[in-house]
Amino acid sequence: MRQVPRVTRPRERRYGVQSGLSSRCGHPLTVKLLVREVPVNNCIYCRSELPSVVPAEHVIPQGFGTFKPDLTLNCVCSDCNGYFGSKLEWPMRNESIEGMLRLHFGLEGTVGGVRTRGVTPVIGEGEYWKGARTTVRTDKNGKERTDVLPQVGARRGPSDPFEWCLEQDLSVAFAERFPKGSEFRIVGGETPADLERLVQKLKEMCPTFVYGGEMNAPFAGDGRVMLHVEHQNSRTVVRCLCKIAFNYMALTCGQQFSLSQSFDELRSFIRNDSGEDESRAFVKHKPILAHEIVYGDRRTDGHILAIDCRPSDRVVEVQIALFNSFPYRIPMCTDYPGHRFMKAHHFDTQTWEVSEMRVAIAGPNFDPASLG
């Protein structure tokens, strides 16, 4: 399940992006926002005065890869930097679909634990295992593994699907929903003691339960199993996506530009968790890369960031696709009076290198052959 607080259909694409280095990136940016003068030595999030030395604020959180060159900002104070790391980036790593995708690229972490919110990986195959909760982890050596959490599955009859209950949630109320003659399955755990503990707990909750032996695991000969992942973006994940967009705007447009009061609502949403979240991030219905729109093939598994400042619409908009998965459109402000400006970067997850991308406006006479 894919969901953000609100999904609306975006307007037709105004431009396409092609990967590859290029110096043709639109007009030089001229700041014409009508705002009060703000000293340029202020944090772009809390506006506190910056000391001579501040920690590096990474445009893409390091949990999603370390790239060369290392694109960082020096206009975020240590308080904001620390807050983002613990309150936004850590949940993004563990409670988002993008956080789960990072494990496939050898980045250390765990998704799908007992207390996990936002993303739930379950077994997607096997008559007696389908729907069982799992946890996916990658160790420091980049080795990925899937573990089945300790839980109980129950169904009233052979034609019914199993309903799964984690050990911590197992209760008399759950057992009473399944009358005598219902079928129960106990899965998960790492040791025989885990199994015995679950058996005893189930007997306490359901006195009619009779232990009937063990069943085979759903894993194929190669040790792999198909997973189905349900996910829903929390407000915290949306704030982290907006923070990445804000960082990228500061990188491409400058610190003074980012301090404009036109971005105050978004700034406060990111830093102070204030304001509504329904209009902050929208899932796009088309990819960001023009190649993928025109030809329908996937060109990269890397991150894509693009910014478009459109005075005709008075809009500054950033597009994000981590691992080129779900493309998001993030409106930054709606009162932009400056020049047309576009820029985009590709973060390659094979070479771990960053390159600037060629940006072109796809007007009525746009020739797809020009993409190369």
Above 70 in pLDDT, residue 1? no
Least confident span in 163-167, 202-206, 219-223: 219-223
Among the listed residues 296, 286, 297, 306, the one whose alpha carbon sits nearest the alpha carbon of residue 360 = 306
Over residues 219-229, the pLDDT tens digits come to 666 667 888 98
Distance of CA 144 to the CA centre of its chain: 19
Residue 86 lies in a domain: no
Provide mean pLDDT across the span 215-220: 66
Q: What are phi and psi of 40, to 5 degrees?
A: -80, 0
Residue 10 lies in a domain: no
Residue 192 pLDDT = 83
Rounded CA separation 33/316 (Å): 12
The answer to whether residues 124 and 222 belong to one domain is yes
214 in helix, strand or coil?
coil
Owning domain of residue 185? 100-231
Helical residues (DSSP H) of the chain, grouped into ranges: 78-84, 90-94, 97-101, 172-176, 192-205, 235-253, 255-258, 264-272, 290-295
Provide mean pLDDT across the span 70-79: 96
Domain boundary residue, one of 188, 209, 231: 231
Task: Look up residue 303 and give its amino acid.
Answer: H
- 346: tokens are 């590709």
Residue 221 pLDDT = 61
Tell whether omega for the bond before 10 is within 30 degrees of 0, i.e. cis: no
Structural domains of the chain, count:
2
Domain boundary residue, one of 211, 231, 251: 231
The answer to whether residues 201 and 280 belong to one domain is no
Question: Would you place residue 370 in the very low, low, confident or very high pLDDT band (cuts 50, 70, 90)?
Answer: low
Provide mean pLDDT across the span 98-121: 88
Domain boundary residue, one of 182, 204, 231: 231
The answer to whether residues 106 and 151 belong to one domain is yes
Above 50 in pLDDT, residue 18? no
The answer to whether residues 355 and 240 belong to one domain is yes
The answer to whether residues 70 and 115 belong to one domain is no
Q: What are phi and psi of 332, to 5 degrees?
A: -95, -40
Over residues 324-335, the pLDDT tens digits come to 999 999 999 999
Residue 143 lies in a domain: yes
The answer to whether residues 219 and 105 belong to one domain is yes
Residues ≥6 apart with Cβ < 8 Å to 313: none
Residue 7 lies in a domain: no
Can you tell me which residue has the tokens 């219905």?
285
Least confident span in 24-28, 175-179, 362-366: 24-28
Residue 297 lies in a domain: yes
The answer to whether residues 241 and 213 belong to one domain is no
Rounded CA separation 160/148 (Å): 21
Residue 127 pLDDT = 79
The answer to whether residues 20 and 104 belong to one domain is no
The answer to whether residues 211 and 118 belong to one domain is yes
Residue 193 pLDDT = 86
Rounded CA separation 91/106 (Å): 19
The answer to whether residues 290 and 204 belong to one domain is no
Above 90 in pLDDT, residue 55? yes
Least confident span in 9-13, 80-84, 320-324, 326-330: 9-13
Residue 21 pLDDT = 29
Cα radius of gyration (the chain): 24
Above 90 in pLDDT, residue 32? no
The answer to whether residues 114 and 224 belong to one domain is yes
Residue 4 lies in a domain: no
Highest mean pLDDT among 81-85, 136-140, 200-204, 292-296: 81-85
Task: Look up residue 11 and give its amino acid.
Answer: R
Residue 220 pLDDT = 61
Residue 94 lies in a domain: no
Enter the DSSP assignment of 262: G
Percent of the chain with pLDDT over 90: 52
Question: Would you place residue 256 in the very low, low, confident or very high pLDDT band (cuts 50, 70, 90)?
Answer: very high
The answer to whether residues 144 and 227 belong to one domain is yes
Residue 70 lies in a domain: yes
Provide mean pLDDT across the span 73-99: 95
Least confident span in 67-76, 309-318, 362-371: 362-371
User: Mean pLDDT in the chain?
Assistant: 84
Question: Would you place residue 180 in the very low, low, confident or very high pLDDT band (cuts 50, 70, 90)?
Answer: confident
Task: Look up residue 226 and give its amino acid.
Answer: M
Question: Would you place residue 17 in the very low, low, confident or very high pLDDT band (cuts 50, 70, 90)?
Answer: very low
Over residues 337-364, the pLDDT tens digits come to 889 999 999 999 999 999 999 887 666 6
Give the chain's largest Cα–Cα span: 75
